[in-house]
């Protein structure tokens, strides 16, 4: 049997297979490397150009997720915001993005070659000898422009997931701030309630003195005692809400639910001089959800191209070697015992036009839906910004009214009625009503401060960017432990914008 033929067949087959991969690699390396914003507009109705995306791998393949153990110290709000990378949801979404980014590395590669062998139980008898076995090496060659389109679509889909991660990070930051301001308001309400108990105790002492002197009835003391019990009940509810809010904050930063939260002694909220149109313009440029819609529009446009290219045939090339025994008499007509080999090719026949028409229609409708989603998301954030801005203005005006007019007048009324009750000029019930009113107004003031700060945090989330603002300022933080239940850039995905030639 002649083995030189087998060697020559393999020598031809290896360059054939590797040559396809080399040509493919050259096509991949030829992708443009200029980095631009993925939101550049490409209108498929006006031009056949499609957005191109280039992928650059991270050298470390790491994650921005911090594994450091959070410290239960006197963190400020800014310190807490630095710890949101410990949030399990963010960790999961980052890994989903990295998984999608890894897909870019293989989606445009050729399928693996296949190697097949046959051994004949009964040899095929030929004039050159008995054929006992054959070996076949084949390589499928998909339509290469379709592989390019699939790589572009995968790149944009991964870039969209990165923006989804950024959007979730903004949402968690906003929720963290909202919970933190809620905890601040609850803590101030607890402080006010305790101070109110002290005031009420002094009123009860006055009532006891008047009862002892015979100028008041025992019902005044009983009314004061009942009111004191209501304050105790209110404290229980406030402590429960404070503990629950603390647990939610710790959940957002991915640590133990009972870790103490540091709160400032006082926050001063003010309304920045922002313009709604300015805020909406910032959102259109920086909001990750809007960027997700833009990127997915380009991914859908590549989906249309992929559907069209599915009509193109796939090819398969193969090389076969046949082992021939040297078991025939010498002949001048055939080469006895010389191994045979062949080169073949196959092509798929995309003749099911109805199927490919349906694929293209599906892709076109998805592309149209993706185009519509951009305007939908923009309108959503425009409405959100206007809504939250109006809430911020209302909360700011309410806080100013409480601070400048309503609370001072209520305190003066309470003080005057206290003196009048001591002199026997007013009933104790009126004094209790004044007390309740002042307490409710104090609660309302701090609630409006918290609402203003929360609204500013939501506006920052909606715009997707840290805004230059003097919106709220916190004093030095002090550790406020949770009271017991007793009465005490990844830059790896960079879409580029040259049109398809």
- Please give the pLDDT value at position 356: 94
> Per this entry, what is the length of the chain?
501
The closest alpha carbon to 185, from 431, 453, 436, 382, belongs to 453
Q: Among all chains, which residue has been given the structure tokens 């003066």?
A: 412
The closest alpha carbon to 312, from 105, 147, 153, belongs to 147
Find the helix packing angle between 144-213 and 4-29, rounded to 10°. Answer: 50
Q: Measure Cα distances from 70 to 154, 179, 261 in Å.
A: 36, 18, 12
The closest alpha carbon to 459, from 80, 184, 81, 170, belongs to 170
- Please give the pLDDT value at position 457: 93
- Please give the pLDDT value at position 470: 52
Q: Are 126 and 108 in contact (CB under 8 A)?
A: no
175-312+367-484: CATH class: mainly alpha
Q: Are 334 and 128 in contact (CB under 8 A)?
A: yes
Stated pTM of the model = 0.75
Q: How far apart are CA 32 and CA 55, in angstroms?
A: 10
- Sequence ranges of the domains in the chain: 175-312+367-484
Q: Among all chains, which residue has been given the structure tokens 């989330």?
A: 461
Q: Are 320 and 10 in contact (CB under 8 A)?
A: no
Q: Are 262 and 477 in contact (CB under 8 A)?
A: yes
Phi–psi pair at 108, nearest 5 degrees: -100, 15
Spell out the per-residue pLDDT of the chain, length 501, in tens: 444 444 444 444 444 444 444 444 444 443 333 333 333 333 334 444 555 655 455 544 444 544 444 444 567 888 899 999 999 999 999 999 999 999 999 999 999 999 999 998 888 888 878 888 999 999 999 999 999 999 999 999 999 999 999 999 999 999 999 999 999 999 999 999 999 999 889 888 888 988 888 887 888 889 889 999 999 999 999 999 999 999 999 999 999 999 999 888 888 778 898 889 999 999 999 999 999 999 999 999 999 999 999 999 999 999 999 988 888 888 777 787 788 899 999 999 999 999 999 999 999 999 999 999 999 999 999 999 999 999 999 999 999 999 999 999 999 998 998 888 888 788 888 888 988 999 999 999 999 999 999 999 999 999 999 887 554 444 433 333 333 333 333 433 444 333 333
Beta bridge mates, 480: 261
CA diameter of the chain? 145
> What are the structure tokens assigned to 88, written together?
């399990």
Q: How far apart are CA 480 and CA 169, in angstroms?
A: 26
């Amino acid at each position: 049997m002649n083995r030189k033929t087998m060697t020559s067949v393999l020598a031809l087959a290896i360059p054939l297979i590797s040559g396809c991969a080399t040509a493919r690699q050259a096509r991949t390396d030829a992708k443009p490397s200029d980095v631009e914003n993925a939101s550049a507009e490409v209108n498929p109705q006006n031009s056949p150009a499609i957005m191109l995306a280039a992928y650059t791998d991270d050298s470390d393949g790491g994650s921005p997720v911090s594994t450091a153990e959070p410290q239960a110290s006197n963190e400020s709000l800014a310190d807490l915001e630095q710890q949101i990378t410990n949030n399990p949801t963010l960790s999961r979404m980052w890994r989903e993005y990295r998984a999608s980014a890894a897909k870019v590395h293989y989606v445009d590669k050729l399928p693996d070659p296949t190697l097949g062998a046959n051994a004949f139980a009964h040899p095929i008898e030929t004039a050159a000898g008995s054929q006992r076995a054959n070996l076949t090496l084949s390589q499928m060659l998909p339509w290469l422009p379709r592989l390019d389109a699939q790589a572009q679509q995968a790149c944009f889909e991964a870039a969209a997931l990165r923006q989804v991660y950024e959007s979730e990070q903004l949402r968690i930051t906003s929720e963290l701030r909202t919970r933190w301001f809620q905890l601040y308001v609850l803590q101030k309400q607890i402080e006010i309630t305790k101070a109110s108990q002290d005031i009420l105790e002094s009123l009860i002492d006055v009532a006891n003195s008047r009862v002892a002197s015979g100028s008041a009835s025992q019902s005044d003391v009983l009314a004061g005692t009942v009111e004191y019990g209501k304050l105790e009940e209110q404290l229980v509810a406030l402590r429960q809400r404070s503990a629950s809010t603390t647990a939610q904050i710790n959940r957002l930063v991915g640590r133990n639910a009972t870790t103490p939260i540091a709160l400032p002694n006082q926050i001063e909220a003010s309304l920045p001089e922002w313009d709604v149109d300015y805020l909406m313009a910032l959102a259109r440029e920086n909001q990750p959800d809007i960027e997700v819609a833009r990127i997915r529009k380009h991914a859908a446009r590549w989906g249309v191209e992929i559907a069209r290219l599915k009509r193109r045939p796939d090819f398969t090339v193969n090389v076969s070697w046949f082992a021939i025994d040297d078991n025939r008499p010498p002949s001048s007509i055939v080469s006895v015992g010389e191994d045979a080999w062949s080169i073949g090719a196959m092509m798929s026949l995309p003749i099911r036009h109805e199927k490919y028409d349906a694929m293209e229609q599906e892709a076109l409708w998805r592309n149209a839906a993706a185009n519509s989603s951009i305007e939908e998301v923009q309108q959503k954030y425009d409405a959100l910004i206007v809504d939250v801005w109006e809430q911020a203005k209302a909360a700011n005006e309410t806080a100013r009214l409480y601070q400048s007019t309503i609370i001072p007048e209520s305190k003066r009324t309470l003080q005057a009625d206290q003196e009048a009750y001591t002199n026997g000029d007013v009933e104790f019930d009126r004094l209790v009503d004044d007390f309740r009113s002042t307490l409710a107004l104090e609660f309302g003031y701090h609630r409006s401060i918290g609402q203003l700060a929360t609204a500013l945090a939501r506006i920052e989330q909606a715009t997707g960017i840290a805004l230059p603002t003097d919106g709220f300022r916190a004093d030095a933080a002090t550790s406020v432990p949770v009271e017991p239940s007793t009465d005490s850039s990844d830059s790896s995905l960079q879409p580029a914008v040259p049109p398809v030639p």
